[in-house]
Amino acid sequence: MAAPTAPRNGDNVLLSATGLVKSLGGKRVVEGIDMTCRAGEVLGLLGPNGAGKTTTLRMCYGFLRPDAGQIRIAGHDLATEGDAARRALGVCTQDDTFDSEFTVRGNLVQTGRYYRPRQEDLLARIDVLIERFGLGPFANQKPETLSGGFKRRLMIARAVVHNPRVAFLDEPTTGLDPQARVAVWELINGLRAEGLAVVLTTHYMDEAERLSDRLLVLQAGKVRAAGQSREVLGDVVGEHVVLLSAQADGTAQVIEWLRSRGARPAQILADWHVALDAPGLAAFVAAHPDLRYEVRPPTLDDLFLALASEDRR
């Protein structure tokens, strides 16, 4: 496991989780995860399906009780100072969980009431959020009439209606068109600029790369790698990715050669993707001087392929 990289903006840790362990249905789902997130930082939580992302997140926002470990939100222990900790966090779940009985504005008001604010403060905050999240034209409509992008905006607005210090966003852009995704990215950037600690899970690698200051890669309930995206990719994938056409003559032999040297090629449609470190790439180039191929830096998609390949093994 790679050592977590120190975040860049001081020591203002707003989320601190140590030694999280959780079993569900008799199966160990999370096994000793540590994570921190600081003010003004976006922490990207990545991993293939079943890696333990959602369970970890659910423990952090108090939905599940960890079997072991400690979670502190803005300095409050979630287990012993639950009310204060919950007051300091906001959650945008994967599924829309609007209150379908209320309008867009009504949803914000009702959610705000679950934090017992002063009424005038709450109403003023809601006006600001409606303006900032572009929800003005729909404020008096029911949420089910909104497009997917605006539903997500409302979910995020609802998550921050009480001015939390930490925001958990569980796949906030899944199913959105590119324009709506970019709009949500801007909102997330805005939360970071406000000084919130944002924990984000996503399956979109470009999103994780663009938004996250640091990544935490989970695999089989453990931290597989942590740090900035380049460091994580170096740890898990390697320094370079070689792309070979699957249709080219002799490719099968090259793939066998790579496998014999411990590489793990993965075929995606018409190409083989092979992650190599610098000595591996040098050996590959020397051994196949006439071969046509492409070399590029690894992406987070390669990371997922590498993790999936490790899982299969």
Partner 1 sequence: MNPYLPAFAWQSHAVLGRHLRVHLRNWYTATLPPVCEPLIMLLAFGVGLGRQIGTLTWNGAPMDYMHYLAPGILAYTAFMSSFFQSLFGAYIRMHFQKSWEGQLTTQLRLEHVVWGEALWAATLATAYAAIVCLVLAGFGLADQLALHWAWLPVVMPLIFLAALSFSAIGLYFTAIIPSIDHMSLPFFLVIMPIGFASSTYFPLPDVPWLTATAQLNPLHHLAEGLRGLLLNGQATWHLAASGGLCLLLLAALIPVDMRLLRKRVFGDG
Tokens 């209320």 locate to 102
| CB distance 214 to 228 below 8 Å | yes
Stretch that binds partner 1, among 58-66, 133-141, 242-250, 293-301 (CB under 8 A): 58-66
Question: Distance between CA atoms of 45 and 33, rounded to whole angstroms?
Answer: 12
By CB under 8 A, how many residues form the interface with partner 1?
Answer: 32
State the minimum distance, in angstroms, from the CB of residue 213 to partner 1: 24
**Pick from 62, 134, 148, 190: which binds partner 1 (CB under 8 A)?**
62
Shortest Å, Cβ 201 to partner 1: 15
Distances (CA, A) of 64 to 20, 61, 80, 85, 225: 11, 8, 14, 14, 24
114, 108 contact by CB (below 8 A): no
DSSP per-residue codes, 37-70: EETT-EEEEE--TTSSHHHHHHHHTTSS--SEEE
Q: Does 80 bind partner 1 (CB under 8 A)?
A: no
Map the footprint of partner 1 across residues 87-116, applying CB under 8 A. Answer: 87, 90-91, 93, 95-102, 110-111, 113-116
Q: Binding marks (x or -) toward partner 1, 5..24, rule CB under 8 A? A: -------------------x
Q: At CA 132, angle to CA 131 and CA 138, rounded to 5?
A: 45
- As measured in angstroms, the least distance from the Cβ of 169 to partner 1 is 12
Instruction: Catalog residues that contact partner 1 under the rule CB under 8 A.
Output: 24-25, 58, 61-65, 82-83, 86-87, 90-91, 93, 95-102, 110-111, 113-116, 158-159, 162
